[in-house]
Amino acid sequence: MYLFICVLDNPSHLTAVLEGWSQAGVLGITVLDSTGVQRIRERADQQGVPMLMGFSRLLQSDQYSHNTLFAVVKDMDTIRRAVAATESVTGDLSGPHTGILFALPVEEAWGLPKQYDATAA
């Protein structure tokens, strides 16, 4: 199993990426609104406030810069299909302002449906 994470730079791509992941077989996707520190610095500069002093105020905005998606995925084949689906929406992820994807091994997980358990019959 793997923890599959995507920081999607353009929130307008969210619906298409979620659809692609679902078609690739990714289950139980969680989506968070997120922003990177560079975007926080830019907002602080635009508003004329020191970053640390204005941090909470900057984050109270309804405008987030990214979406972070994550899910526990059974195998790398599913992840590869989801990466291809993501790039069909965002373009090549090595390009600027697209996003970042990565997978981390998960040694154990609890609360997942039986289809995640490789030993389940």
Instruction: Return the pLDDT at 98.
Output: 92
Ramachandran sector of residue 97 (left: φ over 0; alpha: ψ -120 to 50; beta: rest): left
pLDDT in tens, 84-106: 999 999 999 999 889 999 999 99
Mean pLDDT over all residues of the chain? Answer: 83
pLDDT in tens, 1-29: 999 999 999 999 999 999 999 999 999 99
Instruction: Return the pLDDT at 114.
Output: 74
Rounded-to-integer distance, Cα 115 and Cα 121, Å: 9
Give yes or no for residue 119 having a pLDDT over 50: no
Number of Cβ within a 10 Å radius of residue 85: 20
Q: How many angstroms from the chain centroid is the CA of residue 33?
A: 9
What are φ and ψ of residue 70, in 5° steps? -150, 155
| Residues 30, 92 contacting (CB under 8 angstroms) | no
**pTM, full prediction:** 0.77
For Cα atoms 27, 13, 90, give the angle at the middle one, nearest 5 degrees: 95
Pairing between β-strand 30-34 and β-strand 99-105 as defined by DSSP bridges: unpaired
pLDDT band with cut points at 50, 70 and 90 for residue 65: confident
